[in-house]
């Protein structure tokens, strides 16, 4: 047979250099130096927004972010219509979006997490179009694969040099890794770096390399340091939480994965931090050195790196000041992109190499499906973030939760909204027993001999909860669909309803 | 509609957490600490080879490698049959393979480069099965995607710790980056780290992380330092070569890409090194700081990193001692995997972010197809290495070559073997004129005004060559197919014939 360049071949003919490529080939590298301008109003004018466009923001400044607010105020004043906002997360500080929603300026939203007034407005059905709750890795995938094309990315930039390199570890609004903004920088048609810190010397080891930024927009202040990271994160002191953490740790230590080369992620919640401290202690005593810790990084993990308990940290987001500082100075503390962290189509992404992840849950059901997106009445109060990504990637995913909290069971017959499919959830650790996903018979067998950890079926745990709470009232969701819970691969897990 | 977890969704139903995954999910992480054994004969026994299996090797020790030789001697003595050897490159030091081929021990070969006695034996038709000449990026892709499954990888390891972490920058056989061995370590069913340097402390920043190695095999000596890297690489002194280098440099400088954020790769040949030195000088004078240099790394590039002319180096292979040393100590000199370097299916791989690459050619044809795999008689004398990968990835690929060398034209009507499709080749720079691929009218226009660079059609260059050489005798290739030239995406570019 003959191939696309006319040569005889045996089989599988060459079809053109880019015919079989799975990704868009190139970063949208810009051919000119970025333009420097002052004042967000000038940048918003310069990017020539049109009705119906998609604009994006990242959330590394968290609830201290000024950039989304100042940008949307200009856009609101300009009277645009039907914009889509692709923000990696939405916090109370972003409440300007409520006005934008009510005036039809913003009519659809893609995000991995949403809380506060904007969540309330969306749950009330005030957004004209759809909200899609993505995962952190899925958002990067969708942007990079062209599924979520971005017209203009407004990137809050703690430091920028004149070539458009951006660093998250310098300046008054230093926030550490800018991992969630990398895909936006690579793919947005127009990229605006909004900064209060334009530096004249070239930045070394930037989060975002040169060649992506069109406009450097200098403003007075991109964020409020107090809202960006918490000074410290705290281990729980609640004895019930500590008991859950201790059992989770025993399970990890006896999982067969606890050995040199171990890799590990926990969140920044009080119970998760307690697990991190307990695991740290076990590593010290057993002389175990782990390959890496990853995820949102806290002082628990930077301490372990300094102590030599991990060879490397992969940091997509700093949760506290220790993480910001460490990521700016420790050679093996790597600030990474959301794609490298958790894009399911990126070969060798960090989450896929995880041994153990410890996660929370608002609800979990008898199929081990987890909800961290909505409350039991269907109201938006969070989102996947990296939940579904790491549950899928890790060899063992543990959910830690009180069985009954404020008279409500964490176990339900069916979760209100599926955030993370039960297929990827391995163990539920509660204060009243541990349930192992029936598809992990291997793990159940291995853990059955762990002293002090009682393994029961999830149905049994559910009965125990009902004995405490009584049969809960059935909550009828409205029939009005306002959005979708989207899995990391872009498929739909569930509908989200107006409340 | 209802999705795989029974939820009603709007469209695009979730089909299972791993149903749409494009890659194998996991590194084959091993659950136990590696076993340490002494002597290659014990390791070869322990891995339980069977007839028909695939074994792999990497070539970072180049012509100083002892590991392939010592391993294949044991296998030859054991009388195995029908093995496939997946070696990233094959050098004269690997001539034991000729005996293996003649005795039917090795019957097929996958490699990205082959020269010396093994190439001669294969070209003579002595290999029973097929040879496939891959690209460096394509080899990583094929291994990671399961297209080339490896039963046992024998990894020459300059330093290993007891958790199985491997570093290329320590020990008597230090060779720098081990980039070509990473996919093998991740995917081979059994991984043997062959080392003369088992260290007791944990290695920091290893090339291959813990969790992949099954057996650490300690031997006396894995290689001969003198053959591993050349002490220095030399810029050409030939005035014709220097004229080509100067013209190539002028083209780069006027390409529109020569600005802050510039990224660049050249090979280690004399003309390429001259281009690197000229470009370096232009960067200094223009005050340009590049984003990165990449590829096989030479002292030209480590010097530019130290001088601050590049922010980063991405190093898949050290070509000289300076590169080995720099990669062990400079923070922004990254040792990377072949997949991250050039796997076409790895999002954001380094080659895809290249501005300019300078490459050689044995033959180029009127469609700009390039041959670096065979001579004009069809005999194997090389292979793609990263040629096709970087030509496809870079915004501009330049081929530098004398128009006529030893009375033979570099331009042919049709190349003997297609290594790199003409679609991805932008400019041919010879001592007797420059030809721009007609599909790059934009570039031709831009370069037409560059003083001293004469742009003509490739047909004109071909006529100039024929005026010097006369009409070359037609070489008839034998009809016997012995192998395939395989593009980075796994499709076939061309057949390779017995001579």
- What is the set of domains in chain A, with CATH numbers? 19-228 (3.40.1080.10), 231-480 (3.40.1080.10)
Burial class (CB in 10 A: 0-12, 13-18, 19+), B303: middle
Q: In what order do the strands lie in the sheet with B159-161?
A: B166-167, B159-161, B198-199
Cβ contact, residue pair A345, B17, below 8 Å: no
* CA atoms of A440 and B78, how far apart (whole Å): 41
* CA atoms of B267 and B357, how far apart (whole Å): 9
Q: Determine what percent of chain A is predicted with pLDDT higher than 70.
A: 96
pLDDT digits (tens, 9 = 90+) for A131-168: 999 999 999 999 988 889 999 999 999 999 998 999 99
pLDDT digits (tens, 9 = 90+) for B68-97: 999 999 999 999 999 999 999 999 999 999
Q: How far is B368 from chain A (nearest CA, A)?
A: 11
Nearest-by-CA chain A residue for B187: A348
A230: pLDDT strictly greater than 80: no
Q: Are B316 and B292 in contact (CB under 8 A)?
A: no
For residue A393, the chain B residues in CB contact (below 8 A) are 25
Q: Is B286 on the interface with A (CB under 8 A)?
A: no
Q: How far is B236 from chain A (nearest CA, A)?
A: 32
Q: Are B499 and B379 in contact (CB under 8 A)?
A: yes
Q: In what order do the strands lie in the sheet with B363-365?
A: B370-371, B363-365, B411-412
Residue A294 DSSP one-character state: E
Residue length of chain A? 499
For residue A31, the chain B residues in CB contact (below 8 A) are 256-257, 259
List the 353-412 stretch of A: residues with Cβ below 8 A of B. 353, 355, 367, 369, 392-393, 395
DSSP assignment of B217-268 equals EE-S-SB-HHHHSBS-------HHHHHHHHHHHHHHHTSS--STT-EEEE-S
* CA atoms of B194 and B191, how far apart (whole Å): 10
Q: List, in order, residues 6 or more apart from B388 with CB less than 8 Å away.
A: B135, B138, B419, B420, B421, B424, B487, B488
Q: Determine what percent of chain A is predicted with pLDDT higher than 90.
A: 78
* CA atoms of B172 and B184, how far apart (whole Å): 23
Burial class (CB in 10 A: 0-12, 13-18, 19+), B471: exposed
* CA atoms of B184 and A316, how far apart (whole Å): 27
ipTM reported for the complex, 2 dp? 0.72
Q: What is the pLDDT of residue B26?
A: 43
**A7 C-beta neighbours (distance < 10 Å), count:** 21
For residue B20, the chain A residues in CB contact (below 8 A) are 344, 489-491
Interface mutation vs chain B, best among A491, A494, A496, A497, most B CBs within 10 Å: A491
* CA atoms of A491 and A451, how far apart (whole Å): 41
Smallest Cβ–Cβ distance between B260 and the set A144, A163, A491 belongs to A163
Distance of CA B68 to the CA centre of its chain: 18
Nearest-by-CA chain A residue for B143: A347
Nearest-by-CA chain A residue for B260: A163
Phi-psi region at A433: left, alpha or beta (left = phi > 0; alpha = psi -120 to 50): left
Nearest-by-CA chain A residue for B368: A5
Nearest to B351 by CA among B263, B248, B443: B263
Q: What is the pLDDT of residue B25?
A: 33
* CA atoms of A265 and A324, how far apart (whole Å): 17
List the 247-276 stretch of A: residues with Cβ below 8 A of B. 256-257, 259-261
* Cα angle value A89/A182/A87 (rounded, 5°): 20
Smallest Cβ–Cβ distance between A352 and the set B14, B25, B33 belongs to B25
Cβ contact, residue pair B353, A26, below 8 Å: yes
For residue A23, the chain B residues in CB contact (below 8 A) are 345, 347
Residue A158 DSSP one-character state: S
Cβ contact, residue pair B21, A345, below 8 Å: yes
Q: What is the pLDDT of residue A393?
A: 93
- Give me the tens of pLDDT residue by residue for chain B, a chain 499 residues long: 887 777 877 777 777 766 654 444 345 566 678 999 999 999 999 999 999 999 999 999 999 999 999 999 999 999 999 999 999 999 999 999 999 999 999 999 999 999 999 999 999 999 999 999 999 999 999 998 888 999 999 999 999 999 899 999 999 999 999 999 999 999 999 999 999 999 988 887 889 987 889 999 999 999 997 888 766 678 888 999 999 999 999 999 999 999 999 999 998 888 999 999 999 999 999 999 999 999 999 999 999 999 999 999 999 999 999 999 999 988 889 999 999 999 988 877 899 999 999 999 999 999 999 999 999 999 999 999 999 999 999 999 999 999 999 889 999 999 999 999 999 999 999 999 999 999 999 999 999 888 888 899 999 999 999 999 998 888 888 889 999 999 998 889 999 999 9
Q: What does each C-alpha distance from A15 to A18, B70, B144, B486 come to in angstroms?
A: 8, 41, 22, 12
Strands A370-371 and A363-365: antiparallel
Burial class (CB in 10 A: 0-12, 13-18, 19+), A177: buried
């Amino acid at each position: 047979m003959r191939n696309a360049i006319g040569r005889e071949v045996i089989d599988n003919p060459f079809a053109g250099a880019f015919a079989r490529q799975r990704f868009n080939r190139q970063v949208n590298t810009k051919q000119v130096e970025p333009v420097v301008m002052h004042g967000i109003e000038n940048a918003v004018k310069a990017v020539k927004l049109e009705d119906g466009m998609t604009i994006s923001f990242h959330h590394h400044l968290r609830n201290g972010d000024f950039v989304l607010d100042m940008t949307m105020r200009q856009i609101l004043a300009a009277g645009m219509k039907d914009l889509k906002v692709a923000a990696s997360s939405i916090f109370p500080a972003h409440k300007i979006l409520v006005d934008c929603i009510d005036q039809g300026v913003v009519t659809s939203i893609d995000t991995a997490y949403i809380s506060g007034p904007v969540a309330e407005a969306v749950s009330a059905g005030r957004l004209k179009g759809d909200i899609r709750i993505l995962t952190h890795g899925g958002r990067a995938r969708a942007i990079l694969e062209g599924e979520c094309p971005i017209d203009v990315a407004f990137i809050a930039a703690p430091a920028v040099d004149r070539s458009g390199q951006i660093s998250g570890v310098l300046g008054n609004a230093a926030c550490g890794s800018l991992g969630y903004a990398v895909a936006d920088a690579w793919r947005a048609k127009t990229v605006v770096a909004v900064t209060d810190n334009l530096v004249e010397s070239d930045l070394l080891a930037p989060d975002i390399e040169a060649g992506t930024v069109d406009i450097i927009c200098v403003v007075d202040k991109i964020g409020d340091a107090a809202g960006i990271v918490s000074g410290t994160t705290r281990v729980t002191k609640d004895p019930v939480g500590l008991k859950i953490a201790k059992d989770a740790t025993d399970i990890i230590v006896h999982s067969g994965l606890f050995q040199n080369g171990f890799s590990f992620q926990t969140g920044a919640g009080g119970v998760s931090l307690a697990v991190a401290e307990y695991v740290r202690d076990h590593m010290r005593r057993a002389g175990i050195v782990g390959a890496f810790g990853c995820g949102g990084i806290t002082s628990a993990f930077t301490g372990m790196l300094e102590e030599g308990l991990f060879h490397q940290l992969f940091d997509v987001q700093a949760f506290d000041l220790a993480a910001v500082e460490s990521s700016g100075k420790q050679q093996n503390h790597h600030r990474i992109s959301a794609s490298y962290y958790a894009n399911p189509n990126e070969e060798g992404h960090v989450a896929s190499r995880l041994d153990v992840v410890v996660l929370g849950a608002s609800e979990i059901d008898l199929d081990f499906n987890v909800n961290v997106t909505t409350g039991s009445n269907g109201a938006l109060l969070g989102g996947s973030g990296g939940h579904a990504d790491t549950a899928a990637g890790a060899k063992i995913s543990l959910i830690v939760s009180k069985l009954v909290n404020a008279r409500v069971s964490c176990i339900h017959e069916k979760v209100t909204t599926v955030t993370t499919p039960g297929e990827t959830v391995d163990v539920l650790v509660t204060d009243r027993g541990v349930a192992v996903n029936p598809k992990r018979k291997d793990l159940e067998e291995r853990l059955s001999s762990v002293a002090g950890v009682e393994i029961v079926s999830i149905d049994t745990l559910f009965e125990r909860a009902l004995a405490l709470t009584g049969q809960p009232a059935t909550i009828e969701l409205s029939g009005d669909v306002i959005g979708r819970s989207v899995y990391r691969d872009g498929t739909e897990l569930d509908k989200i309803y107006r409340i």
